[in-house]
Copies of this chain bind each other. A is one copy, B any other.
Amino acid sequence: MGVSLKDIAERAGVSLATVSNVVNGYRPVGEVTRQRVQRAIDELGYTPNLSARHLRRGRTGLIALAVPELTNPYFAELADVAIREAAGLGYTLLMENTAAERGAELALLEGAQRHLIDGLILSPVAIGREEVLARRARMPLVLIGEGVYDVPYDRVAIDNVAASRTATAHLVALGRRRIAFVGAPPGGDRQSAHLRIRGYREALDAAGIPFDPGLVVPTEQFGRADGEHAMHHLLSLDHPPDAVLAYNDLTAIGALRTLARSGAGVPDDVAVAGIDDIEEGRFSNPTLTTVAPDKRAIGRSAVRRLVSRIEGEGGPPMHVQPSFHLIERESTGPAR
């Protein structure tokens, strides 16, 4: 098989322990031996066997990032950041797909991969506060997003209420009065959807616009097709909206699609805004106004918090709240 420590030790004429010390500097090694060992390593092309190292150390060097959908560009972009950050800290990041299923989220929470990973970053959407509080596994856990709040774990999430309020206020400032919200959860889960609806209502209240429950459209999921169907429904109303805030960019893009097909003008007839700032929205027709969370900060903070905990950091749970900012594009832009 591969080259092992023993081969290096024999070649360099030193003990196993010395080679190990050269490799990971646990204890100092004399300059001459260090060089001899290093040369042997280079010549034989040695790389440590990770399974053995992990068995011995009790750690694997792997962390997982579990998201509800791999094909959602938001998570793909987040994963991209997280993978790089993890690599920089000497860890390898594993993508895990929960498919927004309760069972999958619970299983991960309780250590389904316990012997494979040292820690878990989870974006919970199907489980709630109680399930997380009832967790028995001890593996470090970092939560991202506002799916679950007020639990004793590190958490990284933007202020969804504020983000949504900002987007809604922008629509209000454009003079819109019948503002719909697309992407309410059907059952009652998806905490983040509730928060975004709250921000939406706060902005309406602040502007003195009465809340119309008929303008809040539940969706099964939060993809493009869901936005498409929801928009269809809104256009069929007696008094269709003059603006739409979508749960995320994907549903917003679905809504844009329906509007285009129906011949409605965007933003003239209906203004549309999303949340997430996925690249797709910079190239859609029309381009999509959105609230951009600081994805770099989210991905990096989540990985850093997790690695800190894995490496023994104690202390109370921390809540990191990255910033966000509104990006105005054509979908709410001045009428052309």
Interface residues of A (CB under 8 A from B): 1-2, 47-52, 54-55, 58, 60, 70-71, 73, 76-77, 79-80, 83-84, 92, 94-95, 97, 114-116, 224, 228, 253-254, 256-257, 260, 279-280, 282-287
Contact = CB atoms under 8 A, between A and B. Distances in A.
25 contacts: A2-B115, A49-B55, A49-B115, A50-B60, A50-B115, A50-B116, A51-B52, A55-B55, A70-B76, A70-B79, A70-B80, A70-B83, A71-B73, A71-B80, A73-B73, A79-B95, A83-B95, A92-B94, A92-B116, A94-B94, A95-B95, A224-B280, A224-B282, A257-B287, A284-B284
B55 A279 contact: no
A253 B95 contact: no
Q: How many copies does the complex hold?
A: 2
Contact of A48 (B47, B80, B115, B228): B115
A76 to B, nearest CB: 5
B279 A256 contact: no
Contacts of A2: 114-115
Contacts of A283: 224, 228, 253-254, 256-257
A33 B77 CA distance: 51
A279 B224 CA distance: 9
Closest 3 CB pairs of A and B: A51-B55, A51-B54, A285-B285
Nearest to A114: B47
Q: Please indicate which of the listed interface residues A54, A224, A260 has the most CB atoms of chain B within 10 Å of its own CB.
A: A54
A283 B58 CA distance: 48
Q: Please indicate which of the listed interface residues A47, A50, A253 has the most CB atoms of chain B within 10 Å of its own CB.
A: A50
A284 B257 CA distance: 7
A329 to B, nearest CB: 12
Contacts of A116: 50, 92
A70 B87 CA distance: 15
Given A1-B58, A224-B280, 8 more contacts: A48-B115, A49-B55, A51-B55, A52-B55, A71-B76, A73-B76, A92-B116, A224-B282
Contacts of A254: 283
Given A1-B58, A55-B55, A224-B283, A77 B83 contact: no
